[in-house]
Structure 1
Amino acid sequence: MDQQLTKIYDYHVWANQRVFTRLKEIPDEVLEKNIQSVFPSILDAAKHIYRVDVVWLNVMMEKSFDEVTALMAVESEKIKTMTFADLENAYKNIANEYKKFFSSLGYKDQPVVTEHPQFGKLESTVSELVQHVSNHGTYHRGNITAMLRQLGYPGASTDYIFYLFEKQTEEAR
């Protein structure tokens, strides 16, 4: 994978961490509170992002639909009882798994072919799927921000431009 696409994934990890930093400031009962929104609770929205990150890593690794479905059944059971701290740790672990996978590719893009019983066969690349993972996370981090605001709490700013400014500052040090 080229540097730009690695940066896209790094942005996804950075943005998730920004959200987690904000969520640590919110009482646990608020994170688990049922509200009228896209997800039943903020914690459920965060769990959804994680679950989909797991799916797409396994798709990139060219596991079959049946293998991914079986894995997701196990993950879904684990996720049900995860605390916020457990979920944050799971995010760190999946990010490390992505980085190991990218390293195994020599950071070079590669084709990925996946089949889905409803949508058919998709021929794409790792870089396209990384872009999807990042876009998916961005969409649902926005849901979390909206849910926080609905409950009277500020969201976390996760715009890509802020990531770029922060990385530039870090590199200048």
Structure 2
Amino acid sequence: MDQQFTKIYDYHVWANKRVFAKLKEVPEQLLQKEIQSVFPTILDAVGHTYRVDVVWLNVMMGKSFDEIVALMGGVTEKIKTMNLADFENAYQSLANQYEEFFSSLGYKDQPVVTEHPQFGKLESTVSELVQHVSNHGTYHRGNITAMLRQLGYSGASTDYIFYLFEKQKEEAR
């Protein structure tokens, strides 16, 4: 598993886990408290990022726009009732699905073609879409950190360099 895209996805999972660890330090009711920010609540930000991760896995798997829209209706409804523990479990399950998908590719990059009614046809690769998933997650982990600070809590440090330091220490053991 030496493909760069799997390392980027591993970073995304690592960073999400760090955010969940930080969110567990906050009273659950504060995660649902409405504040003036990019999202109404922290859990809304968590749910948005999860939905987008689901969408892009399905794009990579070759599902059509209409198939994904149908799937997302159910995901969106389910998210409305989820608490932090539910989200953490859903993220882990989704990470396992990504891993299974990467395994099915033999951890090799593949072309992906998708069509969107507004944006048209996109020819890309799994690695480019994984980079997007990670970048999107990074952006919203930053939103979550800002929201936590508004509520008087510190955010999780999720810089890629800290991931590299941690992985290096793990490999040295």
The alignment status of 1:73 with 2:90, answered yes or no, reads: no
2:111 is aligned to 111
Contact in 1 for aligned 2:112/2:125 (Cα 8 Å): yes
1:167 is aligned to 167
The alignment status of 1:18 with 2:18, answered yes or no, reads: yes
2:8 is aligned to 8
Question: Which structure 2 residues correspond to residues 20-99 of structure 1 after superposition, within 5 A?
Answer: 20-99=20-99
Identity rate of aligned residues, in percent?
82
The C-alpha deviation readout for 1:142-167, integer Å capped at 9, x for no partner, is 00000001111000000000000000
2:155 is aligned to 155
Letter in 2 for 1:9: Y
Counterpart-to-counterpart distance in 2, 1:47 and 1:2: 30
Letter in 1 for 2:49: I
Contact in 2 for aligned 1:2/1:109 (Cα 8 Å): no
Letter in 2 for 1:55: V
Counterpart-to-counterpart distance in 1, 2:156 and 2:70: 34
Counterpart-to-counterpart distance in 2, 1:142 and 1:99: 25
> Displacement of 1:3 after TM fit?
2.2
1:134 is aligned to 134
Cα RMSD of the aligned pairs, angstroms, is 0.8
Counterpart-to-counterpart distance in 2, 1:28 and 1:4: 36
Contact in 1 for aligned 2:3/2:108 (Cα 8 Å): no
Counterpart-to-counterpart distance in 1, 2:83 and 2:145: 20
The C-alpha deviation readout for 1:89-146, integer Å capped at 9, x for no partner, is 0000000000000000000000000000000000000000000000000000000000
Counterpart-to-counterpart distance in 2, 1:140 and 1:83: 18
Count of paired positions: 173
Letter in 2 for 1:84: L
Counterpart-to-counterpart distance in 1, 2:11 and 2:130: 11
Letter in 2 for 1:152: G
Q: SS of the counterpart of 1:112?
A: strand
Contact in 2 for aligned 1:2/1:108 (Cα 8 Å): no
Runs of 4 or more off by more than 2 Å in structure 1? none
The C-alpha deviation readout for 1:66-107, integer Å capped at 9, x for no partner, is 000000001000000011111100000000000000000000
Counterpart-to-counterpart distance in 2, 1:41 and 1:166: 30
